[in-house]
């Protein structure tokens, strides 16, 4: 059974909307083994890094906070920099799911996919979605435009694409990365 690590970047952790969304999507595919990490309450330490290394695929989930992903997600990106281009993540597929009230989510989706891909993750086609409170309300009224709105059900096909990508075996080449401390100083007064 393929292992999917769900990384919740919401500052509200297991108490927020992202946590509720994760509960919904984790029920959609019984052939996958899901494990959720609420980053708001979890240190990005060797335990989490081992968990990342042992996973076959990932779902990065975040809300939209002033046009950005959640601060726990940013902390993860900063503190997992040492995993860049390593076998722990290289070529492993990830889905990205963003919640919002109304605006800003699509740019987060695109930017986060860009960051993750640069780090070494594989972005399968149609593996990202934004789900908004606005859509949630709009979808309660029947509309012929509904197919063009991202909806919870789209997570099912995203999981299908994630699964397909997890079964791919490709020997990717990685560029050399500077393995010294990336936070070391380069500016002199």
Ligand X SMILES: Cc1cc2nc3c(=O)[nH]c(=O)nc-3n(C[C@H](O)[C@H](O)[C@H](O)COP(=O)(O)O)c2cc1C
Binding site for ligand X (CB under 6 A): 10-12, 16-18, 63-67, 99-104
Q: What is the DSSP letter of 56?
A: S
- The CB-of-99 to ligand X minimum distance in angstroms stands at 4
* Angle, vertex CA 43, rays to CA 41 and CA 49, nearest 5: 125
Residue whose C-alpha is closest to residue 117's, from 158, 156, 84: 84
When the beta carbons of 16 and 128 are compared against ligand X, the nearer one is: 16
When the beta carbons of 15 and 179 are compared against ligand X, the nearer one is: 15
Q: Where are the beta strands (DSSP E) in the chain?
A: 2-8, 32-38, 57-62, 94-100, 128-132
Distance of CA 54 to the CA centre of its chain: 16
- The CB-of-139 to ligand X minimum distance in angstroms stands at 15
- The CB-of-64 to ligand X minimum distance in angstroms stands at 4
Query: HSE on the CB side for 141, CA within 13 Å?
Result: 5
- The CB-of-96 to ligand X minimum distance in angstroms stands at 14
Element (H, E) at 41: none
When the beta carbons of 33 and 106 are compared against ligand X, the nearer one is: 106
* Angle, vertex CA 60, rays to CA 171 and CA 14, nearest 5: 145
- The CB-of-75 to ligand X minimum distance in angstroms stands at 15
């Amino acid at each position: 059974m393929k292992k999917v690590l769900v990384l919740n970047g919401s500052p509200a952790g297991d108490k927020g909307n992202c946590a509720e969304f994760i509960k919904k999507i984790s029920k959609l595919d019984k052939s996958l083994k899901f494990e959720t990490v609420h980053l708001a309450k979890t240190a990005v330490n060797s335990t989490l890094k081992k968990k990342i290394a042992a996973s076959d695929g990932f779902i990065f989930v975040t809300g939209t906070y002033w046009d950005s992903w959640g601060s726990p997600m940013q902390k993860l990106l900063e503190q997992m920099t040492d995993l860049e281009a390593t076998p722990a993540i290289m070529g492993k597929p990830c889905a990205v799911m963003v919640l919002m009230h109304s605006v800003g989510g699509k740019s987060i989706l695109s930017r986060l996919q860009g960051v993750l891909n640069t780090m070494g993750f594989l972005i399968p086609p149609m593996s990202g979605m934004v789900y908004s409170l606005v859509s949630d309300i709009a979808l309660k009224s029947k509309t012929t435009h509904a197919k063009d709105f991202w909806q919870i059900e789209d997570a099912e096909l995203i999981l299908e694409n994630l699964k397909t990508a997890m079964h791919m075996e490709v020997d990717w080449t990685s560029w050399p990365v500077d393995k010294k401390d990336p936070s070391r100083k380069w500016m002199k007064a």
